Amino acid sequence: MQKISIIFFGTHNFAATILEGLLKSPFVSVDLVITQPDRPVGREQKLQPSPVKILAQKHNLPIDQPQNLKNYELRVTSYGLHLAIVAQYGLLIPENIINAPKLGTLNIHTSLLPKYRGASPIQSALINGEKKTGVTIMKMDKGLDTGPILLQKTLKISPDDTYTILDEKLAKIGLQALTEALPKYIQGKLKPKPQKNAKATACKQLTREDGKIDWNKPAQEIYNLYRGLTPWPGVWTQWENKRLKLLRIQPANRKLGSGQVAVENDKIFIGCDKKSIEVLELQLEGKKATTAKMFINGHQNIDDTMLK
């Protein structure tokens, strides 16, 4: 089968895994990569290219980084534009671009659609304590993740999976699903099937405020929030009018009042509605990240305080 020309839209690590697999495919030629603009990172706010841009540069692929696609014009004449593939791109793609390729635009979505349509399907599955998730290869339309389905693969979620771990697992099966679906779709042997809209659920764009912990909730719910929001935007509480970010936590069996802090054997425990959580690593606003033991040494007044 002759190779077809594709344009790839993607930004994050998940997308880089998909792109790397496509570059090895005998069915496609990646002729343009579109990724988000370089973003400032860290205290010094140095511009950092996306994982997809780094990979594309390594393979000398043409790259575009528009701020948005509202008035963006695809280079149709230059590349033939047979197919577009989207994976964790992160910007809205207008209908005229979705429909421009001859074979349309395919998206690798990180949920079992129609469940968790939207911007945070991996995080939402973890926060809600789901036992399984998966990937969906879908043909995009003008709606938000509403297009017909080509192929799905299911993945079991482990009890201690965080976003980073689950993202990596989904990238691997996402590439498997795309590799399986592409030749059949290109040859017209894989027909898209409409989603069951009545069973659809949505998930939102996350902000830092979503990581604020409610200590009146059970320990497992708080741990699930941590799993879904680590590393970004992270989970946090407030102590002495400063934001206290909890970088590593785990469920514990100490019986404490909701929000009550207890220090024992260089360990920090915080009470919840049911049981408690142990804080292993944390970071006070304006300070460096530290272990629980080191934090206790520098902040002995944290023992037996109440967090809200």
29 annotated to bind ligand: no
114 annotated to bind ligand: yes
Listed in sequence order, the residues at least 6 apart from 294 whose beta carbon sits closer than 8 Å to its beta carbon are none
112 annotated to bind ligand: yes
Q: Where are the alpha helices (DSSP H) in 73-218?
A: 76-79, 95-98, 121-127, 163-186
Of the candidates 154, 122, 136, the one whose C-alpha atom is nearest the C-alpha of residue 13 is: 122
113 annotated to bind ligand: yes
225 three-class SS: helix
Task: Compute the half-sphere exposure of residue 186: CA atoms within 13 Å on the CB side of its CA.
Answer: 19
> What CA–CA distance (Å, rounded) separates 218 from 272?
6
* 111: enclosing H helix or E strand: none
Tokens of 240: 């002495």
**DSSP codes joined into one string, 93-120:** --HHHHT-STT-EEEEESS-TTTTEES-
> What CA–CA distance (Å, rounded) separates 277 from 173?
32
* 256: enclosing H helix or E strand: none
> What CA–CA distance (Å, rounded) separates 242 from 307?
11
> What CA–CA distance (Å, rounded) separates 133 from 226?
18
> What CA–CA distance (Å, rounded) separates 288 from 8?
38
- Binding annotation: 111-114
- Binding annotation for (6S)-5,6,7,8-tetrahydrofolate: 111-114
